[in-house]
Amino acid sequence: MEHTIISLGAGTQSTDLLLRGLRGEFDKVPSHAIFSDTGNEPKGVYNYLEWLMKYVDKEYNFTIDVVSSGNIFKDAMAYLHGDRKSSEGIPYYTKNPITGKKAIIRRQCTGDYKIRPVRRQIRKLLPKVKKVSLWLGISYDEMQRMKEANVKWIKHRFPLIENRIKRIDCINNFKAKRIPVPVRSSCVICPYHSDNYWLWIYENEPDNFAATVSLDEKIRCYPGINNECYLHRSCRPLKEVIVDILKGKELASKQLNMFPELIDECSGVCGI
C-alpha cells in the first residue's frame, strides 16, 4: 500500500495543495501533512499555521504534524560563537576582498532542517511502510523546482503541476472560498530572497530583520571560509542594501506620481 503524505510549508502553494487534497480534488486524499519548522519563519507563517491546524481539524478531522531539528538562526549564531561544532549549512554569498570574485557556499540547510525531519516523522508514523508518495506544493509556473527524491522508498509527486495550477490560481482559490491567503513561507535569513522580499521583511517584521542584520554582520569572518560572507547576493552589508532598496522605492513612487492619468490604465502584469 502506498501512503500519500504532504510536505507542508504553510505557504500559498502547499496550503492550497493540502486543502484541495482534503476536498478530494485529486485522485487520492492525503493521510498526513508534515510541517518541518526551522524556527525562523516569518511570524505571519506561524500565525497562519496555527489557524490552518484548527481549520483542518474542524472541517476534515485532519491533523498536521509539526516537527523540527532545531532553530536555524540560533544554530547559526552558536556556530559563529564556537558553541556548536557543525555548521548550519546556510548558502552564504562570498567575496574575495582582493579580487572581488563572488561565489556561494554549498547549501545543506534544506536537507538538515526541512527534508530529514519530514522523513524521520514519516518513519515514526509508518515504521513498516515500504513506499510513500510525498506531495510537494510546487505550482505549474515553478516547474524548474521539481526534483526526484534521493531515496527509493519516497516518490515525489506534484499534483499542482499535474493539473497545471499556477500560483495565481492558488491565490484565487483561497479568495473564492473565502479562506485567508497565506504569506510566503521561507526562512527569514535565507540568502535567496529577492530585494522585494527583503523589503517586505524590513517593513513587516522589524524584529526579524534586525536579528538578520546581526547575523549578516557576524558572518564576514565565517569559520573555515577565507573570503568574506554575506546574506545578500550583492555581497554588501544587508543594512546598506536595504537603504538603497528604500531609495529605489521612493524614486519609483515619485516617477509614478508624475503620470497620475496613466495609473488606472495599468494592465496588472508588470510585477509578474
List domains and CATH numbers for the chain.
3-249 (3.40.50)
| Cα distance from N-terminal residue to C-terminal residue, the chain | 41
**CA nearest to 125, candidates 28, 38, 5, 7:** 5
Three-state DSSP class for residue 5: strand
State the alpha helices, DSSP H only, in the chain: 12-22, 43-60, 72-80, 109-110, 116-125, 159-162, 167-176, 195-204, 206-218, 238-257
pTM of the predicted model, to two decimals? 0.88
Per-residue pLDDT of the chain (272 residues; tens, 9 = 90+): 679 999 999 999 999 999 999 999 999 999 999 999 999 999 999 999 999 999 999 999 999 999 999 999 999 999 999 999 999 999 999 999 889 999 999 999 999 999 999 999 999 999 988 899 999 999 999 999 999 999 999 999 999 999 999 999 999 999 999 999 999 999 999 999 999 999 999 999 999 999 999 999 999 999 999 999 999 999 999 999 999 999 887 766 655 444 343 333 333 323 32
